[in-house]
Amino acid sequence: MFEPGARRKQLIALLWATPFLAIVVLFELLPLAAVAFNSVHVDGELTLGNFVDIFRSAFQRNAFSTSLKISLSTAAIGVGLALPLARLLKTMPKGIQNAVLTYANIGANFTGFPLAFAFIILFGLSGSFTLLLVKAGIVDSVNIYSTGGLVIVYSYFQIPLGLLLLFPSLEAIAGEIEEAARLMGATRIAFWRKIGLPILAPSLFSTFILLFANSMGTYATAFALVGGNANLVTIRIGELVAGDVFSDPNLADALAMVLVLALAVPVLANQIFAKRTDRNG
């Protein structure tokens, strides 16, 4: 039985949360339900034909394969570089920490057409940095309009986002723990291999999943940089929705649902891993 005071607090909390819940329903749950409904309907008939076509099409499978490769690569780069950067930043004065984190926040949100345009100016075929590198004899050419170029561009916002996510988690490694390990004769590498990384494992895994999902869902940056030349899932969805020749909104909805499922699996795995870690910890 709830006390009258506790019930009143719950009602007040629910009232305060109502605007947020309304936004979630209107802009997330209802659109997702509409996409799911349309994905299994063609001309008013219930059918799974769109999903069959996706898994039978080598072109669509390649789109998922390319998106997965780029997302896994950039997520690994983001975590792999953000962790040492966060550790280094932890040793710096508070003012420098705030300045770097402010820049990281800007970099993590600097995406889409502005980011693609900036990289085209700097590393395009006639970009300023490209011409300098070629003139210095360091490279023969720079091809930013490729899968490798997308990895470089995506990493620009993946690394700052990884830094923002991992920096707070380093609070779990108190200075006393590292100092005690050194007094016991542990080297820096041994400390991180046996103590530091196991402590940060849940945060590292969660950050990797978030970076992976962030990359999988990126559309504007890739479209602005390579247009339809890159066979990515998000670009294929955009072409099927807005294309003049191959428009097929129902197939686009089916692709979107497969993408949602592809993102839901690692997110659920992350939740299970986090619960087991809390239980064992």
What pLDDT is attached to residue 245? 65
* pLDDT at 1 > cutoff 60: no
Mean pLDDT of all residues in the chain? 87
Domain boundaries, the chain: 58-280
With tokens 């080297």, the residue in question is 187
**Residue pLDDT, tens place only, 32-50:** 999 999 999 888 889 899 9
Instruction: Give pLDDT, residue 234.
Output: 92
Q: Is residue 223 pLDDT above 80, yes or no?
A: yes
Q: In this model, does residue 224 exceed pLDDT 80?
A: yes
Q: Please name the amino acid found at residue 54.
A: I
Tell me the CATH class for 58-280: mainly alpha
Measured CA distances, 197 to 27, 75, 116, 204, 205 (Å): 38, 17, 34, 8, 11
Residue 153's pLDDT is what? Answer: 94
pLDDT tier for residue 67 given thresholds of 50, 70 and 90? very high
pLDDT at 4: 60
Burial 200-222 (b: 16+ CB within 10 A, else e): bebbbbbbbbbbbbbbbebeebb
Percentage of the chain exceeding pLDDT 90: 48
pLDDT at residue 247 above 90? no
pLDDT score of 258 more than 70: yes
